[in-house]
Amino acid sequence: MYKNTIKYKLTFYSIILLIISIFFLTACSNVKSTKSFEEGKRLLDQKKYIEAIKSFERSLKINPKNHQAVEAIGLCYGDLKDYNKAVKYFEKAVQMKPKNKLYLFNLAVTYLQIGEYSKAKEVYQRILYIDKNNRTAKEALEKLRKNGY
């Protein structure tokens, strides 16, 4: 019986040690992800878009759920006038946070940049579904309607 008690305690302490290790590793990963993300924001502010994209991608490798890094990559590609890539990232950001109006606006505006007026209209309507009094979305839809979309 004494051996079973010792065996049980060793197993218990091993599990506790494993849990603590997992929390520690997760915390270290989050710090690295945040550091890469902050570096990306600084580079984006400096208009160093390619370098910023690399920093945001490093952040995403560590934390694939970082929707802000996904959106920031879309912003970089938009500033580089690579609207098709920007759309890809804005769509992914919206998929991750479907009710985020900023992500939706970025997607709608970028759809307009590439001439996807019906898709932009759908996104503006989605914004109004989330926020029925959103004046910017209403005005954008009115402009699209006046232009036949």
Q: Is 113 exposed, middle or buried (0-12, 13-18, 19+ CB in 10 A)?
A: middle
Could you tell me the residue range of the domain that residue 14 belongs to? 2-146
* Contact partners, residue 75, CB within 8 Å, separation at least 6: 44, 86, 106
What pLDDT score was predicted for residue 32? Answer: 65
**pLDDT tens for residues 19-62?**
554 444 444 445 566 899 999 999 999 999 999 999 999 999 99
**pLDDT tens for residues 63-113?**
999 999 999 999 999 999 999 999 999 999 999 999 999 999 999 999 999
What is d(CA 148, CA 117) in angstroms, rounded to the nearest whole number?
Answer: 10
pLDDT surpasses 80 at 7: no
What pLDDT score was predicted for residue 27? Answer: 46
Domain count for the chain, please give it: 1
Helices 83-96 and 67-79 pack at an angle, to 10 degrees, of: 160
Looking at residue 148, what DSSP letter applies?
T
Average pLDDT over residues 123-127: 98
Question: What are the Cα distances from residue 29, in Å, to 22, 58, 60?
Answer: 11, 11, 11
Q: Which residue has the higher pLDDT, 104 or 1?
A: 104
CATH of the domain at 39: 1.25.40.10
pLDDT surpasses 60 at 2: no
Closest CA to 130 of 95, 102, 96, 99: 99
What is d(CA 136, CA 124) in angstroms, rounded to the nearest whole number?
Answer: 9
Question: Model-level pTM greater than 0.85?
Answer: no
What region does 115 belong to: left with phi over 0, alpha with psi -120 to 50, or beta?
left
What pLDDT score was predicted for residue 34? Answer: 87
